[in-house]
Amino acid sequence: METKTIRNFILGLVLGGVLVAFALRGAVVEKPITKPLEVVDEESVVTKVVEEATPSVVTVSISKTNIINNNLFPGFDIFGDFFGMQIPKQQQQEQKIEQDIGTGFVISNDGLIVTNKHVVSDTTAKYKVVIGKDEVVEVKEIYRDPENDLAILRVDKKGLTPVKLGDSDKLKVGQTVIAIGTALGEFRSTVTKGVISGLGRGITAGNPFEGSEKLENVIQTDAAINPGNSGGPLFNSAGEVIGVNVAVSQGAQSIGFALPINLIRDSINNFKTTGGFERPYLGVSYQMITKQAALLNEVPAGAYVQALTDNGPAAKAGVKVGDIITEIDGVKLVDNKDISIVSLINKKKIGDEVTIKLWRDKSEVNLRARLEKRV
């Protein structure tokens, strides 16, 4: 009995193993259902942005006629008559200039285009924009922003494709950016790619012929920015404009700068509301006092009033030269590039009333000023 029992036990194990093997074999036959993976690489992201954004990027061209005085015989014009020689002294010659000088981008389908103010700084010239490959449209009106290096062009063209505006306050150093523009005023629709190299930069931009301008809180990028890119868009990887290309460092490679789009957005909204760039002003010239200087002189940190505009809002409110403005509408003024009288007033509207807290003769004074249109 014991031998038979052992035999049956072994036979049961063998049969059970066979059944398990068949069961497992059947389970392996059916393949698992998986969804295909969508691989998105950096190259496809860039090409998608370029394809969608390029129709919204335009080339800005200048048209101008210069008068040139040519002296046919230099050095002899003074003595020609003295020796009885009939020498023509000067001839005037017209020189016509037609060339691409910058870039812009469409912000409305009814013909509004953004570029830099310095691109269209010549008020005696005429300007055109090239849309697409070769459609040339004359610029009818130019609105130049007195506060920023920004201009809005109006063309008589409907059905344009506006860009999408992003949020430059959310930018991070290292994120991918794409620039599109007319490099060197010669190569239209040039695409360059890089990263944001720095934020909150302060630079002095300009040239010996047009003067210089201090630009604050600009974006630094290593995407190639060349002369001719000025006024063009700087895109993020989502195809949104996060900056306006404005300058390139002449003394280094791969260092370009762009105005943050949120600064430009405020100007655009102002323009669409007022039809121009009308802004309120307070009418004070000031010097910021650092915390260290304030401690040494036993005064509060703030804006030391150096001068006042005659009959301006601040003067009417009672502000005096020598006052230290410490707060505007409850916002403390500190030696910080992000908080200043200009930045606070630019967020207001003409006719708004603001509260000014200042330090005078070792005591606090509270005043109210009504903002006016800058004349």
Q: In whole angstroms, what is the distance from residue 305 CA to residue 284 CA? A: 7
Q: Dump the DSSP string for 48-61.
A: HHHHHHGGGEEEEE
Q: Which of 56, 149, 197, 340 is catalytic?
A: 149
Report the alpha-carbon angle 86-90-94, nearest 5: 140
Q: Which of 230, 267, 323, 340 is catalytic?
A: 230
Q: In whole angstroms, what is the distance from residue 61 CA to residue 89 CA? A: 35
Q: In whole angstroms, what is the distance from residue 101 CA to residue 147 CA? A: 22
HSE, CB side, 13 Å, CA atoms: give it for residue 26: 5
Q: Which of 56, 118, 267, 323 is catalytic?
A: 118
The distance of Cα 323 from the centroid of its chain, to the nearest Å, equals 35
Q: In whole angstroms, what is the distance from residue 60 CA to residue 55 CA? A: 14
Which two three-digit tokens encode residue 142?
A: 């130019």
Paired with 125 in beta bridges are none
Paired with 137 in beta bridges are 129
Whether residue 202 contacts residue 217, with contact meaning beta carbons closer than 8 Å, is answered with: yes
**3-state DSSP call for residue 296?**
helix
Which two three-digit tokens encode residue 7?
A: 């035999």
- Any alpha helices (H) in 30-150, and if so which ranges? 42-53
The residue type found at 154 is: R
Cα separations in angstroms, 341 against 156, 299, 336, 365: 38, 19, 11, 17
HSE, CB side, 13 Å, CA atoms: give it for residue 158: 0
Active site residue 230: yes
Active site residue 149: yes
Q: In whole angstroms, what is the distance from residue 101 CA to residue 106 CA? A: 17
Residue 262 CB neighbour total at 10 angstroms: 17
Q: Indicate if the alpha-carbon torsion angle 276, 277, 279, 284 is positive or negative.
A: negative
Active-site positions read 118, 149, 230
